[in-house]
Amino acid sequence: MVYGPSFVEYEPGSRCPRCGKGALILDPNTGELTCSECGFVVRERIEDPGQEWRAFSKEEKEDRSRAGVPLSLAMHDMGLATVIGPRDKDASGKPLEAPVRSMMQRLRTWNSRSQVHEPVDRNLRQAFNELDTLADKLSVSQAVIERAAYIYRKALEKGLVRGRSISGLIAASLYAACRALETPRTLKDIAEVSGLKKKDVARCYRLLVRELDLKMPIADPIKSVSRIASKAGLSEKVQRRAIEILRKAAEMRISAGKDPMGMAAAALYIACVLEGETKTQKEIAEAAGVTEVTIRNRYKGLKAALGLDEALAVAEAKRLKAKGEANAG
Protein backbone atom coordinates (compact mmCIF):
# COMPACT_ATOMS: atom_id res chain seq x y z
CA MET A 1 0.00 0.00 0.00
CA VAL A 2 1.39 3.39 -1.04
CA TYR A 3 1.08 6.43 1.24
CA GLY A 4 0.58 9.92 -0.17
CA PRO A 5 1.90 13.22 1.19
CA SER A 6 0.27 14.09 4.49
CA PHE A 7 0.68 17.87 4.05
CA VAL A 8 -1.84 18.06 1.15
CA GLU A 9 -5.44 18.69 2.25
CA TYR A 10 -8.03 16.33 0.76
CA GLU A 11 -11.69 15.89 1.72
CA PRO A 12 -13.72 12.64 1.77
CA GLY A 13 -15.64 12.28 -1.51
CA SER A 14 -13.08 14.08 -3.67
CA ARG A 15 -11.17 12.32 -6.48
CA CYS A 16 -8.02 10.31 -5.87
CA PRO A 17 -4.86 12.36 -6.69
CA ARG A 18 -3.13 9.23 -8.00
CA CYS A 19 -5.59 7.43 -10.28
CA GLY A 20 -8.15 10.20 -10.65
CA LYS A 21 -11.01 7.68 -10.78
CA GLY A 22 -11.96 6.56 -7.29
CA ALA A 23 -13.55 8.66 -4.57
CA LEU A 24 -11.71 9.15 -1.30
CA ILE A 25 -13.21 7.29 1.69
CA LEU A 26 -12.52 8.03 5.36
CA ASP A 27 -12.12 4.99 7.61
CA PRO A 28 -13.15 6.16 11.14
CA ASN A 29 -11.52 3.17 12.83
CA THR A 30 -8.01 3.62 11.42
CA GLY A 31 -8.22 7.34 10.70
CA GLU A 32 -7.09 6.83 7.08
CA LEU A 33 -8.33 8.57 3.94
CA THR A 34 -8.08 6.03 1.09
CA CYS A 35 -9.07 5.71 -2.56
CA SER A 36 -11.96 3.36 -3.24
CA GLU A 37 -10.38 2.18 -6.54
CA CYS A 38 -6.63 1.82 -6.17
CA GLY A 39 -6.36 1.75 -2.35
CA PHE A 40 -3.97 4.69 -2.25
CA VAL A 41 -3.76 6.12 1.30
CA VAL A 42 -3.90 9.89 1.00
CA ARG A 43 -3.83 10.70 4.72
CA GLU A 44 -3.44 8.75 7.93
CA ARG A 45 -4.09 9.33 11.64
CA ILE A 46 -6.86 11.81 10.99
CA GLU A 47 -8.52 13.19 14.09
CA ASP A 48 -12.21 12.36 14.35
CA PRO A 49 -14.15 15.67 14.54
CA GLY A 50 -17.37 13.89 15.60
CA GLN A 51 -18.73 13.29 19.09
CA GLU A 52 -16.63 11.25 21.50
CA TRP A 53 -19.59 9.53 23.16
CA ARG A 54 -21.15 6.31 21.95
CA ALA A 55 -24.86 5.57 21.97
CA PHE A 56 -26.49 2.16 21.61
CA SER A 57 -30.06 3.05 22.62
CA LYS A 58 -32.51 5.95 22.43
CA GLU A 59 -31.92 6.85 26.10
CA GLU A 60 -28.15 6.98 25.58
CA LYS A 61 -28.58 9.22 22.53
CA GLU A 62 -30.68 11.66 24.56
CA ASP A 63 -28.30 11.57 27.53
CA ARG A 64 -25.09 12.98 26.07
CA SER A 65 -23.26 13.42 29.35
CA ARG A 66 -19.51 13.17 28.94
CA ALA A 67 -18.77 12.21 32.52
CA GLY A 68 -19.78 9.56 35.00
CA VAL A 69 -21.69 9.90 38.22
CA PRO A 70 -20.90 13.22 39.97
CA LEU A 71 -18.83 13.25 43.14
CA SER A 72 -20.97 12.89 46.24
CA LEU A 73 -20.08 13.49 49.89
CA ALA A 74 -22.85 11.04 50.79
CA MET A 75 -20.76 8.10 49.56
CA HIS A 76 -17.92 6.78 51.69
CA ASP A 77 -15.48 6.95 48.75
CA MET A 78 -17.17 10.02 47.18
CA GLY A 79 -18.13 7.88 44.18
CA LEU A 80 -14.55 7.38 42.96
CA ALA A 81 -14.28 3.62 43.52
CA THR A 82 -14.56 1.01 40.78
CA VAL A 83 -17.13 -1.75 41.18
CA ILE A 84 -17.04 -5.15 39.46
CA GLY A 85 -20.49 -5.63 37.92
CA PRO A 86 -22.77 -8.50 38.96
CA ARG A 87 -23.29 -9.83 35.40
CA ASP A 88 -21.81 -13.31 34.93
CA LYS A 89 -21.38 -12.92 31.16
CA ASP A 90 -18.44 -12.22 28.88
CA ALA A 91 -18.09 -9.41 26.31
CA SER A 92 -20.09 -11.33 23.71
CA GLY A 93 -22.97 -11.97 26.11
CA LYS A 94 -22.24 -15.67 26.70
CA PRO A 95 -22.55 -17.03 30.27
CA LEU A 96 -19.26 -17.58 32.07
CA GLU A 97 -18.09 -21.08 32.86
CA ALA A 98 -18.31 -22.27 36.47
CA PRO A 99 -14.58 -21.82 37.36
CA VAL A 100 -14.49 -18.30 35.88
CA ARG A 101 -17.78 -17.40 37.55
CA SER A 102 -16.42 -18.54 40.91
CA MET A 103 -13.24 -16.54 40.37
CA MET A 104 -15.22 -13.38 39.52
CA GLN A 105 -17.28 -13.77 42.67
CA ARG A 106 -14.09 -13.95 44.76
CA LEU A 107 -12.76 -10.87 42.99
CA ARG A 108 -15.96 -8.97 43.76
CA THR A 109 -15.70 -9.92 47.43
CA TRP A 110 -12.07 -8.84 47.72
CA ASN A 111 -12.73 -5.67 45.74
CA SER A 112 -15.53 -4.75 48.14
CA ARG A 113 -13.37 -5.51 51.19
CA SER A 114 -10.41 -3.54 49.88
CA GLN A 115 -12.52 -0.38 49.67
CA VAL A 116 -13.39 -0.40 53.39
CA HIS A 117 -10.22 -1.77 54.98
CA GLU A 118 -9.86 1.25 57.29
CA PRO A 119 -12.14 1.94 60.29
CA VAL A 120 -12.99 5.41 58.96
CA ASP A 121 -14.29 3.94 55.69
CA ARG A 122 -16.38 1.37 57.56
CA ASN A 123 -17.79 4.10 59.78
CA LEU A 124 -18.72 6.27 56.79
CA ARG A 125 -20.28 3.37 54.90
CA GLN A 126 -22.51 2.46 57.87
CA ALA A 127 -23.44 6.11 58.52
CA PHE A 128 -24.29 6.91 54.92
CA ASN A 129 -26.37 3.74 54.54
CA GLU A 130 -28.45 4.98 57.48
CA LEU A 131 -28.54 8.48 55.98
CA ASP A 132 -30.00 7.11 52.72
CA THR A 133 -32.70 5.26 54.67
CA LEU A 134 -33.64 8.36 56.69
CA ALA A 135 -33.64 10.58 53.60
CA ASP A 136 -35.99 8.20 51.75
CA LYS A 137 -38.43 8.11 54.66
CA LEU A 138 -38.40 11.91 55.11
CA SER A 139 -38.41 12.72 51.36
CA VAL A 140 -35.68 15.35 51.56
CA SER A 141 -33.75 16.76 48.59
CA GLN A 142 -30.26 15.74 47.47
CA ALA A 143 -28.92 19.09 48.68
CA VAL A 144 -30.02 18.26 52.23
CA ILE A 145 -28.40 14.81 52.00
CA GLU A 146 -25.10 16.33 50.81
CA ARG A 147 -25.15 18.92 53.62
CA ALA A 148 -25.86 16.21 56.21
CA ALA A 149 -22.95 14.11 54.88
CA TYR A 150 -20.66 17.16 55.03
CA ILE A 151 -21.62 17.86 58.66
CA TYR A 152 -21.06 14.20 59.62
CA ARG A 153 -17.63 14.14 57.93
CA LYS A 154 -16.65 17.25 59.91
CA ALA A 155 -17.83 15.60 63.12
CA LEU A 156 -15.77 12.50 62.28
CA GLU A 157 -12.66 14.62 61.61
CA LYS A 158 -13.08 16.29 65.02
CA GLY A 159 -13.43 12.93 66.77
CA LEU A 160 -17.01 13.54 67.92
CA VAL A 161 -18.14 10.07 66.79
CA ARG A 162 -15.85 8.22 69.19
CA GLY A 163 -17.90 6.74 72.04
CA ARG A 164 -21.20 7.92 70.56
CA SER A 165 -23.94 6.33 68.51
CA ILE A 166 -23.50 6.57 64.72
CA SER A 167 -27.29 6.52 64.34
CA GLY A 168 -27.72 9.44 66.72
CA LEU A 169 -25.06 11.58 65.08
CA ILE A 170 -26.23 10.94 61.51
CA ALA A 171 -29.83 11.75 62.56
CA ALA A 172 -28.61 14.96 64.22
CA SER A 173 -26.57 15.82 61.11
CA LEU A 174 -29.69 15.39 58.97
CA TYR A 175 -31.71 17.62 61.31
CA ALA A 176 -28.95 20.26 61.20
CA ALA A 177 -28.95 20.09 57.39
CA CYS A 178 -32.74 20.53 57.31
CA ARG A 179 -32.44 23.55 59.61
CA ALA A 180 -29.59 25.05 57.56
CA LEU A 181 -31.44 24.68 54.24
CA GLU A 182 -34.83 25.64 55.75
CA THR A 183 -36.47 22.31 55.01
CA PRO A 184 -39.45 21.91 57.39
CA ARG A 185 -38.61 18.69 59.25
CA THR A 186 -39.00 18.63 63.02
CA LEU A 187 -36.85 16.90 65.59
CA LYS A 188 -39.81 14.64 66.32
CA ASP A 189 -40.06 13.56 62.65
CA ILE A 190 -36.39 12.60 62.52
CA ALA A 191 -36.54 10.82 65.88
CA GLU A 192 -39.54 8.75 64.73
CA VAL A 193 -38.01 7.57 61.43
CA SER A 194 -34.62 6.85 63.03
CA GLY A 195 -36.13 4.86 65.91
CA LEU A 196 -34.30 6.97 68.50
CA LYS A 197 -35.53 9.03 71.43
CA LYS A 198 -36.09 12.69 70.73
CA LYS A 199 -33.83 13.77 73.60
CA ASP A 200 -30.93 11.63 72.25
CA VAL A 201 -31.12 13.28 68.80
CA ALA A 202 -31.43 16.70 70.46
CA ARG A 203 -28.32 16.01 72.58
CA CYS A 204 -26.29 15.05 69.50
CA TYR A 205 -27.61 18.09 67.62
CA ARG A 206 -26.54 20.46 70.42
CA LEU A 207 -23.10 18.78 70.40
CA LEU A 208 -22.72 19.36 66.65
CA VAL A 209 -23.80 23.00 66.88
CA ARG A 210 -21.42 23.65 69.79
CA GLU A 211 -18.34 21.77 68.57
CA LEU A 212 -18.58 22.57 64.84
CA ASP A 213 -19.76 26.15 65.45
CA LEU A 214 -22.73 25.75 63.11
CA LYS A 215 -24.70 28.90 62.33
CA MET A 216 -28.35 27.97 62.13
CA PRO A 217 -30.92 30.33 60.62
CA ILE A 218 -34.02 31.16 62.65
CA ALA A 219 -36.81 28.74 61.73
CA ASP A 220 -39.52 30.39 59.66
CA PRO A 221 -43.07 29.24 60.59
CA ILE A 222 -44.30 30.14 57.09
CA LYS A 223 -42.31 27.17 55.72
CA SER A 224 -44.45 24.82 57.84
CA VAL A 225 -47.86 26.17 56.75
CA SER A 226 -48.26 24.15 53.55
CA ARG A 227 -47.20 20.93 55.26
CA ILE A 228 -49.70 21.28 58.14
CA ALA A 229 -52.46 22.45 55.79
CA SER A 230 -51.91 19.46 53.51
CA LYS A 231 -52.20 17.01 56.42
CA ALA A 232 -55.28 18.77 57.83
CA GLY A 233 -56.98 19.12 54.42
CA LEU A 234 -57.24 22.92 54.47
CA SER A 235 -57.94 25.08 51.42
CA GLU A 236 -55.53 27.36 49.60
CA LYS A 237 -57.49 30.40 50.78
CA VAL A 238 -56.86 29.46 54.43
CA GLN A 239 -53.16 28.94 53.74
CA ARG A 240 -52.82 32.39 52.16
CA ARG A 241 -54.60 33.99 55.13
CA ALA A 242 -52.35 32.13 57.60
CA ILE A 243 -49.20 33.26 55.75
CA GLU A 244 -50.48 36.84 55.86
CA ILE A 245 -51.00 36.55 59.65
CA LEU A 246 -47.51 35.10 60.17
CA ARG A 247 -45.88 37.86 58.10
CA LYS A 248 -47.56 40.49 60.25
CA ALA A 249 -46.42 38.62 63.37
CA ALA A 250 -42.84 38.50 62.06
CA GLU A 251 -42.88 42.26 61.40
CA MET A 252 -44.00 42.83 65.01
CA ARG A 253 -41.41 40.27 66.24
CA ILE A 254 -44.07 38.18 67.97
CA SER A 255 -42.79 34.86 66.58
CA ALA A 256 -39.23 35.27 67.92
CA GLY A 257 -38.27 32.37 70.18
CA LYS A 258 -41.51 30.48 69.56
CA ASP A 259 -41.85 26.97 68.14
CA PRO A 260 -42.45 27.43 64.37
CA MET A 261 -44.88 24.50 64.17
CA GLY A 262 -46.96 25.91 67.04
CA MET A 263 -47.03 29.38 65.45
CA ALA A 264 -48.00 27.98 62.05
CA ALA A 265 -50.74 25.81 63.59
CA ALA A 266 -52.20 28.77 65.53
CA ALA A 267 -52.15 30.98 62.42
CA LEU A 268 -53.96 28.27 60.45
CA TYR A 269 -56.58 27.93 63.17
CA ILE A 270 -57.18 31.70 63.15
CA ALA A 271 -57.38 31.63 59.33
CA CYS A 272 -59.95 28.80 59.52
CA VAL A 273 -62.14 30.87 61.87
CA LEU A 274 -61.85 34.00 59.71
CA GLU A 275 -62.53 32.13 56.45
CA GLY A 276 -65.39 30.09 57.89
CA GLU A 277 -63.80 26.64 57.59
CA THR A 278 -64.74 24.23 60.36
CA LYS A 279 -61.58 22.70 61.80
CA THR A 280 -61.07 22.02 65.48
CA GLN A 281 -57.92 22.79 67.41
CA LYS A 282 -57.47 19.06 67.95
CA GLU A 283 -57.42 18.31 64.20
CA ILE A 284 -54.87 21.02 63.47
CA ALA A 285 -52.78 20.03 66.51
CA GLU A 286 -52.59 16.43 65.28
CA ALA A 287 -51.56 17.57 61.79
CA ALA A 288 -48.85 19.86 63.23
CA GLY A 289 -47.60 17.41 65.85
CA VAL A 290 -48.15 19.85 68.74
CA THR A 291 -50.58 19.94 71.66
CA GLU A 292 -53.89 21.80 71.79
CA VAL A 293 -52.54 23.83 74.73
CA THR A 294 -49.73 25.16 72.50
CA ILE A 295 -52.24 26.22 69.84
CA ARG A 296 -54.44 27.94 72.43
CA ASN A 297 -51.50 29.85 73.91
CA ARG A 298 -50.21 30.97 70.50
CA TYR A 299 -53.78 31.77 69.42
CA LYS A 300 -54.24 34.12 72.39
CA GLY A 301 -50.89 35.80 71.73
CA LEU A 302 -51.56 36.39 68.03
CA LYS A 303 -55.12 37.56 68.65
CA ALA A 304 -54.02 40.15 71.21
CA ALA A 305 -50.94 41.38 69.32
CA LEU A 306 -52.61 41.70 65.90
CA GLY A 307 -55.92 43.10 67.23
CA LEU A 308 -58.04 40.29 65.84
CA ASP A 309 -60.57 40.14 68.71
CA GLU A 310 -63.37 41.89 66.83
CA ALA A 311 -62.80 40.07 63.51
CA LEU A 312 -62.69 36.69 65.23
CA ALA A 313 -65.84 37.48 67.24
CA VAL A 314 -67.73 38.43 64.07
CA ALA A 315 -66.53 35.31 62.25
CA GLU A 316 -67.48 33.11 65.20
CA ALA A 317 -70.96 34.69 65.34
CA LYS A 318 -71.46 34.03 61.62
CA ARG A 319 -70.38 30.43 62.06
CA LEU A 320 -72.78 29.86 64.97
CA LYS A 321 -75.61 31.51 63.03
CA ALA A 322 -75.00 29.32 59.98
CA LYS A 323 -74.83 26.24 62.21
CA GLY A 324 -78.13 27.18 63.88
CA GLU A 325 -79.86 27.72 60.53
CA ALA A 326 -78.57 24.37 59.29
CA ASN A 327 -79.88 22.61 62.40
CA ALA A 328 -83.27 24.37 62.10
CA GLY A 329 -83.57 23.43 58.44
Of the three residues 31, 46, 61, the one that is the final residue of a domain is: 46
Of the three residues 46, 65, 80, the one that is the final residue of a domain is: 46
C-alpha–C-alpha distance, residues 193 and 98, integer Å: 44
Position 59 in a domain? no
* Tens-digit pLDDT profile for residues 15-66: 888 888 888 888 877 778 888 888 888 887 776 666 656 666 666 666 666 5
C-alpha–C-alpha distance, residues 40 and 265, integer Å: 83
Contact 163, 156 (CB under 8 A): no
Number of domains in the chain: 3
Position 106 in a domain? no
% of the chain exceeding 90 in pLDDT: 23
Position 156 in a domain? yes
Same domain, 301 and 229: yes
Residue 4 has a pLDDT of 45
Query: What's 189's domain CATH number?
Result: 1.10.472.10
* Tens-digit pLDDT profile for residues 90-135: 877 788 889 888 998 998 888 877 776 678 888 888 899 999 999 9
% of the chain exceeding 70 in pLDDT: 86
Q: Which of 9-13, 42-46, 68-72 has the highest mean pLDDT?
A: 42-46
pLDDT band at 7 (very low <50, low <70, confident <90, very high): very low
Indicate whether 302 pLDDT > 80.
Answer: yes
* Tens-digit pLDDT profile for residues 184-233: 888 888 999 999 998 999 999 999 999 999 888 877 888 888 888 888 88
pLDDT band at 3 (very low <50, low <70, confident <90, very high): very low
Residue 145 has a pLDDT of 94
Same domain, 226 and 316: yes
Same domain, 124 and 200: yes
Query: What's 28's domain CATH number?
Result: 2.20.25
Position 268 in a domain? yes
Q: Give residue 324's domain range.
A: 221-328
Between β-strands 32-35 and 41-43, what pairing exists: parallel, antiparallel or unpaired? antiparallel
Position 178 in a domain? yes
C-alpha–C-alpha distance, residues 215 and 170, integer Å: 18
Residue 127 has a pLDDT of 92
Position 91 in a domain? no
Position 317 in a domain? yes
pTM over 0.85: no
Residue 1 has a pLDDT of 41
C-alpha–C-alpha distance, residues 21 and 14, integer Å: 10
Same domain, 257 and 238: yes
Residue 300 has a pLDDT of 87
Position 53 in a domain? no
